[in-house]
A and B are shown apart, each in its own frame.
Chain A
């Protein structure tokens, strides 16, 4: 933690924190949601930038503002991603994924593997 990050990646982290939350967040809430290693003013600046680009909505909350991410109502992004993946083959291969979705059996195999990896070290 606390290692240096580029401005673009901070914007993504703030947006991700807003999406992960159940309710609108103030700048102070976002600082907490990010683990408290970003300055309040930095977060405020990023939120203002995201708002001016239309990525987040804001409403007054006391003396500050509370922010919510703007929903892609039409689900445009999701349907476009899905169209690309549904073409399969090279089209799906072009989209590097963090990991695939797993079936229950595969989850069980994976859980077993992880458990096995954890026991020898005893530090998991």
Chain B
């Protein structure tokens, strides 16, 4: 088979590396969709690639060849994928499938519990539930309807404009269903380790998206002040692991800086570059699938006694 079968892996890797950087300076809504939908496409492309690599070997089993009416010896002769490569692809595919199924199950259960939590929260205040806690907390709980949970400590620390900013920020998470983008990026990373930076990138882009949404209800400066005011306060409760915190500090600095800058413009070359990588991933995956199909068609022709077509096939570019 041709080089095209490996190209989806290469392009998905390039996407996984470039996307988090290129997405940073884009309008966050555009960035989020590019990262999540793009991640899904890239992960599908790489999975197709592995499946095709593996299937050329699986297809050589006499049992399968008999049922599919193709010549397994013709297939073996025509197939340039070395057996160890095919075996490796099959093992990888199996491991990644288990990873995806596990990640999907966990995330679905967590989302179900999120929906249950949203339904169980005291609802007298409409979308907003306030918890009587001195620390600064604000959460968006996905559900039908989704709920906003903030601590009294946070509200007391903010002025009217900043409170509005926090509420608008959390509301944006719910309205734009950011939890779905998070879940998709998480699954893409499970399906293809080359996309492992996507979940954090989507995390940042959705926070930025919510910040920009909040900035439509008040000034950008007010949103930045709300972030700063909410962060600069000692807290020992509901502590996060150190790695998450270090990331949170970096992320917060990025968000505050972004709010001090003007709203990001759509930079078409960044979008075009990412879309090109995604198109390349998809196109090469489709091309590889066609190649494999031809391979099997020729093996079927050989099975029915017209072996000269195999020779033609092997000479084709």
Contacts and interface: CB of A to CB of B under 8 A. Distances in A.
Interface of A: 1, 3, 5, 8-9, 11-13, 15-17, 19-20, 33-35, 50, 53-55, 69-72, 75-78, 80-82, 84-85, 87, 89-91, 93-104, 106-107, 109-111, 113-114, 117, 121, 123-124
A3 B150 CA distance: 23
A81 B131 CA distance: 9
B124 A54 contact: yes
Given A72-B122, A90-B106, 7 more contacts: A13-B163, A20-B156, A94-B179, A95-B114, A96-B140, A96-B182, A117-B257
A16 B150 contact: yes
Interface residues of B, number: 83
A74 to B, nearest CB: 10
A1 B218 contact: yes
Contacts of B139: 81, 95-98
29 contacts: A1-B218, A5-B164, A9-B167, A13-B167, A15-B125, A16-B167, A17-B163, A20-B163, A35-B159, A53-B126, A55-B126, A75-B131, A77-B122, A85-B238, A87-B113, A91-B113, A93-B186, A94-B107, A96-B179, A98-B136, A98-B230, A99-B231, A101-B237, A101-B238, A102-B231, A106-B246, A107-B232, A117-B253, A124-B260
A7 B211 CA distance: 21
B228 interface: yes
Interface SS majority for chain B: helix
Contacts of A96: 139-140, 170, 173, 178-179, 182, 206-207, 210
